Amino acid sequence: MSRRGPLKSAVPSNLVSPVRRCSRTACGRPAVATLTYVYADSTAVLGPLATYAEPHCYDLCAEHSERLTAPRGWDVVRLAVDSGPARPSSDDLEALANAVREAARPQERAAGPGAAPGVMGPAGREANPMEVARRGHLRVLRSPDS
């Protein structure tokens, strides 16, 4: 008996891609839209690419999503589909920068607006009565109604 070496995979692993592909047979283009059928309403809904691949939904490339037709008597609802890659907006970047600045501030800062003057919290700083707890740079705030 001859001893064989380690079993090699029949499919090279470099063919697996994190990009979702069109569900149509023999189409390898990247998916840009998700098709869902609502059988109770006889409606096909074509919308932006879903965050996760669902078993009863179909991911379609740009060409197949444009040419989509539904069975006779069915309605097709087309939701806005972003054709380009998602890019962070200036609002997202500004919010991220503000969060980083807030987290980097020294812990000895005075309490923010709405704090009762003269009420001292930990580390000898004025406490905010709306603040219930703190963990790192995150704060738990009391509801304004209570």
Asked if residue 123 belongs to a domain, the reply is: no
Asked if residue 53 belongs to a domain, the reply is: yes
Q: Taking CA 105 as the corner, what is the angle to CA 104 and CA 107, rounded to the nearest 5 degrees? A: 115
Asked if residue 130 belongs to a domain, the reply is: no
The count of structural domains within the chain is: 1
Domain with 78, as residue range(s), is 17-82
Q: What pLDDT is recorded for position 146?
A: 61
User: What does the DSSP assignment read for 37-95?
Assistant: EEGGGTEEEEEEPPSS--TTEEEE-HHHHHS----TT-EEEE-----SPP---HHHHHH
Q: What pLDDT is recorded for position 1?
A: 52
Asked if residue 71 belongs to a domain, the reply is: yes
Asked if residue 25 belongs to a domain, the reply is: yes
What average pLDDT does range 87-94 have in this prediction? 70
The larger pLDDT score, comparing residue 85 to residue 21, is at 21
Asked if residue 127 belongs to a domain, the reply is: no
Q: What pLDDT is recorded for position 75?
A: 93
The Cα–Cα gap between 46 and 67 comes to 11
Q: Where does the pLDDT of residue 77 fall: very low under 50, low under 70, confident under 90, or very high at 90 and above? A: very high
Asked if residue 54 belongs to a domain, the reply is: yes
pLDDT digits (tens, 9 = 90+) for 2-36: 565 555 555 554 555 578 899 999 999 999 999 99
Structure pTM? 0.47
**SS3 at position 21:** strand
Query: Taking a C-beta distance cutoff of 8 angstroms, is the pair 59, 28 a contact?
Result: no
Q: Where does the pLDDT of residue 62 fall: very low under 50, low under 70, confident under 90, or very high at 90 and above? A: very high
Residue 70 is encoded by which pair of tokens? Answer: 């539904």
C-alpha closest to that of 38 among 64, 65, 70, 61: 70
Q: With 70 as the cut, is the pLDDT of residue 111 above it?
A: no
Dihedral of the alpha carbons of 114, 119, 123, 129, in degrees to the nearest 10:
-40
Of 19-33, 50-64, 90-104, give the lowest mean pLDDT range: 90-104
Q: What pLDDT is recorded for position 127?
A: 57
Residue 59, φ and ψ in degrees, nearest 5: -90, 135
